[in-house]
Amino acid sequence: MKNEFQNSWLPMVLASASPRRAALLAEIGIVFEVVPGQVNEIPREYLSPGELARFYARKKAREAAIRLPDRLVLGADTVVCLENRVFGKPANMAEARACLTLLQGRSHQVITGVCLLCHRSHCERLFAVGTTVRFRPLTSRQIDGYLKKINPLDKAGAYAIQEYGEMIVEEIAGSYSNVVGLPVERLQEELSALGWSQPKQAPKSTCAAVRNQPFAATLQSQVAL
């Protein structure tokens, strides 16, 4: 495939204030700067969870790319869904508790939409990656204990797999980094197709896909972010 991107000597722009996404990009050797986009995320019931994640990823990327047309911009959005019901960031602790109560003992999907966009090079990649996460059966006391250890209000689905995830997660099927907030395996493939040069490859222990593995066993091979 012909390389599309022509300005790979310029730092990538991460159109997200998420420290988790920044940490994942740094781990795979991407040179970037953070330019958060100002995007209001409102419910759009007519979109599927995957469509919703891609919609907001592209919206975030476009907002930054308009201001920085020579730069490759990465926008991303992560949603948690259970049977097509989308869980965003909870408004308060009561919502966070209710969300984890619904997810406990069941499998749900974590979908991250990603948009790579550069106006000057007329290139765009838009995709979404899904990971299945199964929660342990949890009592109200266990849920409250977990919520005391993290801040759930800035996290879709009211949890973070990299923060005491062993307390609530039984197993995952798919990309671990995708649950954290960025599917680095697929991202590297798309960057390669664009002709983006990366200084180094991602550490396999951190970013390799994990399929149908008990979470407690896989956690030891993950780097906490």
* 150 is a domain residue: yes
Backbone angles phi, psi at 135, to 5 degrees: -85, 150
99 contacts 128 by C-beta, under 8 angstroms: no
Residue position matching structure tokens 């801040």: 151
Q: Is residue 88 part of a domain?
A: yes
pLDDT tens across the length of the chain (225 residues): 345 555 556 889 999 989 999 999 999 889 899 998 777 666 667 789 999 999 999 999 999 999 999 999 999 999 999 988 899 889 999 999 999 999 999 999 999 999 999 988 888 999 999 999 999 999 999 999 999 999 999 899 999 999 999 999 999 999 999 999 999 999 999 998 888 775 444 344 333 333 344 444 333 333 222
**7 within a domain of the structure (yes/no):** no
Please tell me whether the overall predicted TM-score, pTM, comes out greater than 0.75 for this model. Answer: yes
Q: Are 88 and 55 in contact (CB under 8 A)?
A: no
Nearest residue to 181 via CA among 26, 11, 2? 26
Q: Is 50 helix (H, G, I), strand (E, B) or coil?
A: helix
Q: Report the number of distinct structural domains present in the chain.
A: 1
Residue pair 165/159 in contact (Cβ under 8 Å)? The answer is: yes
56, part of any domain? yes
Dist CA 54 CA 187 (whole Å): 14
Handedness of CA 216, 16, 74, 27 (dihedral sign): negative
Q: Please answer whether residues 81 and 109 qualify as being in contact, where contact means their C-beta atoms are separated by less than 8 angstroms.
A: yes
Task: Please report, for the domain that includes residue 107, its CATH number.
Answer: 3.90.950.10
Which residues are tagged catalytic?
Answer: 77
> Does residue 225 lie in a domain region?
no
Which of 206, 38, 55, 177 lies closest to 110, judged by CA? 177
| Helix, strand or coil, per DSSP, at residue 12 | strand
User: Is residue 1 situated within a structural domain?
Assistant: no
2 falls within a domain: no
**Judging by beta carbons within 10 Å of its beta carbon (0-12, 13-18, 19+), is residue 91 exposed, middle or buried?**
exposed
Give every CB contact of residue 134 below 8 A, 6+ residues apart in sequence: 106, 107, 108, 169, 170, 171, 172
186: domain range? 12-219
Residue 3 domain-assigned (yes or no): no
